[in-house]
């Protein structure tokens, strides 16, 4: 789409038309079996992880912790107003920090962000009394969707994964055998994106890399349909009104979230090194929707993405290390935790990360 008023109006008209068609489209009719607390406990114990389900009301926040050998425990976390006060400024703080402010402003922004993250951890993490280093599955309400969990004290360097629900995590099952084939693409206008994908690709014996004019929607779609791991470094845009039309910009135009459903085969892992790649909108019933969720819904085991911007030099350092660990046999959540232990980022493992 173009950027002028007529282009924007035409874009809205097309999206409304497509959304209207989806309302009249017959669904699969499939009804998934119910997943109860016993099934979550069995999955957590079987995979050696803790499952934490955050619960949210107008008055209070609590968490249910499962997988530490008992039947499960409920932990009160405090008043909702205290959490919302901290969440309200989190997004702006993260975006300001990613903009690389200089001098005294940089120090002030960094100090403010650290204070906010520490306060969030005191409310959401510390009371859980998690065993050191134990991997954690985090089921979170829509209001927590932008929290960079790997940056919270107590979770830094700890393998974490954030599924769309604990039921989805149980049904998806553990991370499959070591992936073999990786595909990489760098979109236009992103500093160091070519370097990022080329460095990351060296970890894989069988890797396809598309940069410049070669990174077209058709070519990247073809590569994605045969890859176990897909990594896209590009400008991303989250569409608030129509989240499934969130997209990354490739050489010849946008590649939409809903295009993932058109692939003959979905990669097990999708890495979206794109601003807003992990951003979501909250729908009815606390359901979230966006680019990362579209890939999970299409069948990806997990997606590594960020709801906030990531500095180019950080992505260029962290993500090649993630791929080195993946190619060495580590599951995505473990690879991300290991790569960010000394350099925490807003990147989060979504879906089933091990």
Candidates 223, 175, 174, 179; CA nearest to 203 is 179
Cα 37 to Cα 19: distance, rounded to the nearest angstrom: 35
Vertex 349: Cα angle to 173 and 256 (nearest 5):
95
Strand order in the sheet with 247-250: 236-237, 247-250, 253-256
Answer for the pair 194, 188: CB distance below 8 angstroms, yes or no: no
Level-2 CATH architecture, domain 181-351? 3-Layer(aba) Sandwich (3.40)
Cα 247 to Cα 276: distance, rounded to the nearest angstrom: 9
Q: Which is more confidently placed, 285 or 122?
A: 122
Candidates 350, 353, 317; CA nearest to 335 is 353
Domain borders along the chain are 37-163, 181-351
> How far is the first Cα of the chain from the last one, in angstroms, to the nearest whole number?
38
Candidates 34, 52, 138; CA nearest to 348 is 138
Q: Is the model's pLDDT at 243 over the cut of 80?
A: no
User: Do the two domains 37-163 and 181-351 of this chain adopt the same fold?
Assistant: no
Residue 16: pLDDT band (50, 70, 90) is confident
Answer for the pair 335, 325: CB distance below 8 angstroms, yes or no: yes
Average pLDDT over residues 94-101: 83
What confidence tens digit (pLDDT) does each residue in 277-325 have? 444 444 434 445 578 888 998 999 999 998 788 888 889 999 999 999 9
Reduce the DSSP state of residue 62 to 3 states and report it.
strand
pTM: 0.88
Fold of 37-163: Nucleotidyltransferase; domain 5 (3.30.420)
Residue 14: pLDDT band (50, 70, 90) is confident
Q: What burial class does residue 71 get, using C-beta atoms within 10 Å of its C-beta: 0-12 exposed, 13-18 middle, 19+ buried?
A: exposed
Structure token pair of residue 14 = 């097309």
């Amino acid at each position: 789409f173009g950027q002028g008023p007529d282009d924007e109006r035409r874009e809205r008209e097309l999206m409304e038309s497509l959304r209207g068609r989806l309302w009249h489209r017959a669904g699969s009719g499939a009804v998934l079996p119910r997943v109860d607390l016993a099934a979550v406990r069995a999955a957590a114990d079987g995979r050696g992880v803790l499952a934490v389900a955050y619960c949210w009301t107008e008055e209070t926040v609590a968490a249910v912790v499962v997988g530490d050998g008992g039947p499960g425990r409920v932990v009160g976390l405090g008043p909702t107003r205290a959490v919302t006060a901290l969440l309200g400024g989190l997004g702006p703080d993260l975006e300001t920090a990613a903009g690389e402010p200089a001098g005294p402003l940089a120090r002030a922004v960094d100090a403010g962000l650290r204070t906010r993250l520490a306060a969030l951890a005191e409310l959401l993490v510390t009371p859980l009394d998690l065993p050191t280093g134990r991997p954690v599955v985090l089921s979170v309400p829509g209001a927590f969707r932008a929290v960079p969990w790997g940056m919270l004290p107590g979770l830094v360097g700890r393998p974490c994964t954030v599924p769309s629900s604990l039921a989805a995590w149980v049904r998806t099952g553990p991370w499959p055998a070591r992936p073999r084939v990786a595909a990489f693409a760098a979109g236009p206008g992103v500093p160091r994106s070519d370097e990022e994908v080329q460095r990351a690709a060296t970890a894989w014996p069988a890797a396809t890399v598309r940069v410049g004019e070669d990174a077209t929607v058709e070519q990247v779609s073809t590569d994605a349909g045969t890859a176990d791991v897909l990594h896209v470094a590009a400008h991303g845009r989250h569409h608030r009104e129509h989240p499934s039309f969130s997209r990354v910009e490739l050489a010849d135009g946008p590649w939409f979230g809903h295009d993932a459903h058109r692939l003959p085969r979905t990669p097990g892992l999708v890495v979206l090194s794109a601003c807003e790649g992990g951003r979501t909108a909250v729908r009815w019933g606390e359901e979230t929707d966006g680019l990362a969720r579209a890939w999970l819904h299409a069948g990806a085991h997990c997606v590594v993405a960020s709801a906030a911007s990531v500095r180019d030099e950080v992505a260029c350092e962290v993500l090649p290390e993630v791929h080195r660990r993946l190619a060495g046999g580590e599951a995505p959540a473990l690879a991300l935790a290991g790569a960010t232990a000394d350099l925490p980022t807003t990147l989060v493992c979504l879906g089933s990360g091990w």
